[in-house]
Amino acid sequence: MRLSRYFLPILRETPKEAEIISHRLMLRAGMIRQEAAGIYAWLPLGLRVLNKVCDVVRAEQDRAGAIEILMPTIQAADLWRESGRYEAYGKEMLRLKDRHERELLYGPTAEEVVTEIFRASTRSYKDLPKNLYQISWKFRDEVRPRFGTMRSREFLMKDGYSFDIDQAAARHSYNKVFVSYLRTFERLGLRAIPMRADTGPIGGDLSHEFIILAKTGESEVFCDQAYLDMPVPPPSVDFDDVAGLQGVVDAWTSHYAATDEMHDEAVFAEVPEASRLSARGIEVGHIFYFGTKYSTPMKAVVTGPDGSERPVHMGSYGIGPSRLVAATIEASHDEAGIIWPDAIAPFDVALINLKVGDGACDTACAEIQAALETAGLSVLYDDRDERPGAKFATADLIGLPWQVIVGPKGLAEGKIELKRRASGERETLDPVDLPARIRRL
């Protein structure tokens, strides 16, 4: 993509309303634009990151056997009356009426809708287990939305829902998602630590939050350092292996880890002092097992092997991709801007032409772009008529993993410069070696 044809509205000044670094950087890098309080448009660069996050989330859900659906954003109030949550949910629910005065709402979550879909179609234990998920926009009318897409009113969420015949089977479904989330965050370049959590308005008796550590995190967390280098299961992990998955979950819950809310100072004191870690954390995922909380009132029942009907055991599982984009920046930036992990970088390479209009530079850049794209790498080519300083600043700000710098001096010797954004390391090389060099990492 040529930058001259792209839409990258970089801001020169730091926006005053942005309180945290990810919000500032997303605005400055032209990733998002606020359209109303807590409501954002995703501009081209931001959308590319968001889509990459979703791709990873989706791939790991599919690997774990979950099946993708898409429920509507607008839901019927009556469905929420069946579960008893319509009145209980409070002011965070955006309630509305259509032209016929029918009560609707913008879904903040979808337990009711998915339970309705399930009960309409599934009659037998033979059709279980099922895990249905979607990646879709939700709305929660926060009283004071802030922190950009970290806590926006309209936000993207992957929400999954599992259905099982009994508690033991539901536990396995829970473990599948637990492991899929470990893999998801690892692929996103994040170390997320599962912490026992309060179940809140979703209800239920088993719940974990997945927390990443970041200096600017929203809450205090306490855990054993053992989690920092605990291995994450490989792609080949067998999600049908009940005992195997339970073993992974047991290992990942064997040490102390708690958010402020669930923290127990006395138990934490038993962790060897050298292993105790107090830090700031950001919640990036939350999973719940809540048994028959929805299936009983909503009559989502199946026939068991003995022919009798019973309500299904359910769980729900959330990851917020729009929040993850911001959380990743909180965990990965420096003074010059964002540092994208390779997996979710909007482009792999920033190609910087130091002298646009110079025949040799223009030709070399066109060839390099073609060669990199042929090698499967995505390139944002800065072909603007700007001074080098502005181009370097833009490249650092938007944080693509690699910068390829092409100038007349180097080209005279047949060389270009390659810079790794994260480390700042630079090397000089022949353009033909570039695709292999970048692929090597």
Minimum distance from residue 97 beta carbon to its own copies (Å): 8
Beta partners for 261?
none
Helices (H), 313-413: 321-331, 359-374, 388-398, 408-412
Quick one: which of 70, 243, 266, 412 contacts its own copies (CB under 8 A)? 70
Nearest to 129 by CA among 160, 83, 108: 160
- Considering only residues 151-190, where is the footprint of its own copies by CB under 8 A? 153-154
Residue 118: count other Cβ atoms within 10 Å of its Cβ.
22
Q: Is 226 in the site for its own copies (CB under 8 A)?
A: no
Q: Is 42 in the site for its own copies (CB under 8 A)?
A: yes
Q: Is 99 in the site for its own copies (CB under 8 A)?
A: yes
Minimum distance from residue 160 beta carbon to its own copies (Å): 12
First to last CA, the chain: 23
- Report the distance separating Cα 134 and Cα 161, nearest Å: 9
In the complex with its own copies, the residue whose CB is nearer, 120 or 266, is 120
Give the C-alpha distances (Å, rounded to integers) separating 173 from 131, 234, 245, 287, 414.
Answer: 8, 18, 10, 11, 57
Which positions ≥6 away from 126 have C-beta within 8 Å?
none
Quick one: which of 17, 19, 68, 260 contacts its own copies (CB under 8 A)? 68
Minimum distance from residue 92 beta carbon to its own copies (Å): 8
What string marks each residue from 103 to 142 as x (binds its own copies by CB under 8 A) or -? -x-x------x--xx--xxx-------x-x----x-x-x-
In the complex with its own copies, the residue whose CB is nearer, 72 or 424, is 72
In the complex with its own copies, the residue whose CB is nearer, 43 or 212, is 43
Which positions ≥6 away from 161 have C-beta within 8 Å?
110, 111, 114, 115, 118, 131, 132, 133, 314, 315, 316, 317
Minimum distance from residue 378 beta carbon to its own copies (Å): 12
Taking the alpha carbons of 160, 329, 434, 360 in that order, is the dihedral positive or negative? positive
Query: Could you list the residues that contact its own copies (CB under 8 A)?
Result: 5-7, 9, 30, 33, 35-37, 39-44, 47, 50, 65, 67-76, 79, 91-92, 94, 96, 98-99, 102, 104, 106, 113, 116-117, 120-122, 130, 132, 137, 139, 141, 143, 153-154
